[in-house]
């Protein structure tokens, strides 16, 4: 048993995509560094005595996430797929029970309280649904007697319905885009593309009409004079103060007045204290992650693994794009974290879950890549 462990570790190290692994580690390290900068201000605003309360918690989440990434990435492709299916069932079950056992924050019931920790099942739903949908699409294309598209669409619609009940329009949009991306990559016709696009437009219109907070955010984005834009204004102040090189570590001022500086607006903290160069570095890390994952997906021989890796990379890229765009006031606020960088336990652990799955599917093993693969 002791002799097998080193062999397994060596085999894992030889097979793992080190570029993807190092990018994920770099993003987690960036989150810890920025949490160190934002934690004292956040603790002071909330009346918490320990100035590094959020940093310590982020350190715990980062450690657990790292363990999760390494453990999940060591699974076989079949094992990773089964784990995603179990996570999907568990997430859906918890979301169904959410109206009865959920904890309400700011008018939304998205969390289950476990002591001082708030579990958000919808965060785990995203990677789990992406992988499961990829498998269903691939199975139908392979000719298996399974109505994969119908089952995948049914699960997707149930998931969206449960998200809107919470309500969580931002996660609904992200999940729809990721599901549509996997569906498109699986080889659907333009009729399906038009139908899914029409469904997305109709859903957005319905959300605008049915949910006042969605309408308010859109209206404030289009007409800042129509309501409170305090957070966006402060975020823009932070970015403008940062300039090229930033005001220096710990020297930022706007984080003391920005309520969500350590979560949704951590990018603004980075821009103020470390400047444009640091901001571009963060964007560059996400660009490398997505580009590397997609390039590896194109070389994989298993159609399911191709779809799963492409979909998971799309989730990371779109979530980062939405968060940064909100910080730059390019789109209405969505309440979405910057992957691996923003403070948040459920978000960090769920993203680690997705990263572990992506690393498991891209691991080099006999027959996994086409003969053209040389890297």
Question: What is residue 1's predicted lDDT score, i.e. its pLDDT?
Answer: 46
Residue 351 DSSP symbol: H
Q: Which of 34-43, 133-142, 195-204 has the lowest mean pLDDT?
A: 195-204
Residue 252 DSSP symbol: -
* DSSP helix/strand/coil, 185: helix
Cα-based distances in Å from 363 to 16, 24, 76, 293, 373: 5, 15, 9, 11, 13
Compute φ and ψ for 252, nearest 5 degrees.
-65, 145
Mean pLDDT (whole number) for 77-82 = 95
Task: Indicate the average pLDDT of the chain.
Answer: 86
Mean pLDDT (whole number) for 208-234 = 68
Condensed to tens digits (0 to 9), the pLDDT of residues 128-165 reads: 999 999 999 999 888 777 788 899 999 999 999 999 88
* pLDDT for 189 beyond 90: no
* pLDDT for 373 beyond 60: no
Question: What is residue 210's predicted lDDT score, i.e. its pLDDT?
Answer: 67
Higher pLDDT, 23 or 368: 23
**Tokens (6 digits) for 346:** 């459920």
Burial category of 330 from C-beta neighbours within 10 Å (exposed 0-12, middle 13-18, buried 19 and up): exposed
Question: What is residue 211's predicted lDDT score, i.e. its pLDDT?
Answer: 63
Instruction: DSSP for 11-53, please give it.
Output: HHHHHS-HHHHHHHHHHHHHHHHHHHHHHHHHHHHTT-S-TTH
Are 38 and 269 in contact, with CB atoms under 8 Å apart? yes
Mean pLDDT (whole number) for 208-236 = 70
Instruction: DSSP for 131-166, please give it.
Output: HHHHHHHHHHHHT-SS-HHHHHHHHHHHHHHHHHHT
Non-local CB neighbours of 241 within 8 Å, separated by 6+ positions? 247, 252, 253, 254, 272
Question: What is residue 224's predicted lDDT score, i.e. its pLDDT?
Answer: 64
> Domains of the chain: which residue ranges?
26-362
Question: What is residue 69's predicted lDDT score, i.e. its pLDDT?
Answer: 96
First to last CA, the chain: 32
Q: Where are the alpha helices (DSSP H) in the chain?
A: 4-15, 18-45, 53-73, 77-101, 121-142, 148-165, 169-185, 190-210, 212-222, 230-242, 266-299, 303-327, 345-362
d(CA 110, CA 357): 24
* pLDDT for 321 beyond 50: yes
Compute φ and ψ for 269, nearest 5 degrees.
-60, -45
Mean pLDDT (whole number) for 276-292 = 95
Higher pLDDT, 196 or 273: 273
Compute φ and ψ for 114, nearest 5 degrees.
-125, 90
Higher pLDDT, 7 or 28: 28
Mean pLDDT (whole number) for 15-38 = 94
Compute φ and ψ for 187, nearest 5 degrees.
100, 40
Question: What is residue 66's predicted lDDT score, i.e. its pLDDT?
Answer: 95
Predicted confidence band of residue 330 (pLDDT cuts 50, 70, 90): confident
Q: Which of 111-115, 204-208, 233-237 has the lowest mean pLDDT?
A: 204-208
Mean pLDDT (whole number) for 234-252 = 85
Non-local CB neighbours of 124 within 8 Å, separated by 6+ positions? 87, 90, 91, 346, 349, 350, 353
Predicted confidence band of residue 212 (pLDDT cuts 50, 70, 90): low
* pLDDT for 194 beyond 80: no
d(CA 348, CA 67): 12
* pLDDT for 167 beyond 60: yes
Mean pLDDT (whole number) for 318-339 = 89
* DSSP helix/strand/coil, 113: strand
d(CA 203, CA 209): 10
d(CA 46, CA 330): 29
Mean pLDDT (whole number) for 120-134 = 94
* pLDDT for 374 beyond 60: no
Angle at 319 between CA 51 and CA 301, to 5 degrees: 125
Residue 187 DSSP symbol: T
Q: Which of 31-35, 112-116, 272-276, 347-351 has the lowest mean pLDDT?
A: 112-116
Question: What is residue 288's predicted lDDT score, i.e. its pLDDT?
Answer: 97
Mean pLDDT (whole number) for 91-115 = 80
d(CA 268, CA 333): 14
Higher pLDDT, 223 or 109: 109
Question: What is residue 207's predicted lDDT score, i.e. its pLDDT?
Answer: 65
Mean pLDDT (whole number) for 200-216 = 68
* pLDDT for 235 beyond 60: yes
């Amino acid at each position: 048993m002791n002799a097998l462990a080193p062999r397994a570790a060596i085999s894992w190290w030889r097979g793992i995509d080190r570029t993807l692994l190092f990018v994920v580690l770099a993003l987690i390290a960036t989150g810890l560094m920025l949490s160190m900068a934002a934690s004292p201000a956040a603790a002071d605003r909330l009346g918490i005595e320990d100035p590094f309360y959020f940093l310590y918690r982020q350190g715990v989440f980062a450690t657990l996430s790292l363990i999760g990434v390494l453990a999940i990435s060591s699974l076989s492709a079949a094992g990773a797929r089964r784990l995603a299916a179990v996570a999907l069932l568990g997430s859906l079950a918890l979301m169904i029970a959410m109206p009865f056992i959920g904890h309400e924050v700011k008018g939304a019931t998205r969390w289950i309280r476990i002591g001082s920790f708030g579990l958000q099942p919808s965060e785990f739903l995203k990677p789990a649904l992406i992988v499961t949908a990829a498998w269903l699409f691939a199975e139908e294309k392979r000719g298996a007697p399974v109505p994969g598209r119908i089952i995948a669409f049914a699960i997707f619609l149930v998931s969206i319905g449960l998200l809107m009940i919470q309500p969580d329009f931002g996660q609904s949009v992200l999940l729809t885009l990721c599901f549509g991306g996997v569906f498109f990559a699986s080889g659907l016709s333009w009729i399906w593309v038009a139908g899914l696009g029409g469904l997305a437009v109709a859903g957005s219109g319905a959300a605008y009409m049915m949910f006042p907070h969605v309408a308010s955010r859109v209206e404030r984005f289009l007409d800042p004079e129509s309501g409170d834009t305090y957070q966006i204004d402060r975020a823009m102040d932070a970015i403008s103060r940062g300039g090229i090189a930033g005001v220096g570590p710990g020297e930022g001022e706007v984080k003391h007045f920005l309520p969500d500086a350590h979560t949704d607006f951590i990018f603004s903290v980075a821009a103020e204290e470390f400047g444009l160069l640091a901001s571009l570095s963060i964007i560059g890390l996400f660009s490398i992650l997505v580009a590397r994952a997609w390039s590896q997906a194109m070389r994989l021989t298993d159609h399911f693994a191709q779809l799963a890796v492409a979909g998971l990379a799309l989730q990371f890229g779109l979530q980062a794009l939405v968060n940064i765009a909100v910080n730059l006031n390019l789109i209405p606020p969505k309440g979405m974290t910057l992957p691996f960088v923003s403070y948040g336990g459920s978000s960090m652990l769920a993203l680690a879950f997705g990263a572990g799955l992506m690393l498991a599917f891209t691991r080099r093993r006999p027959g996994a890549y086409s003969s053209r693969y040389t890297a």
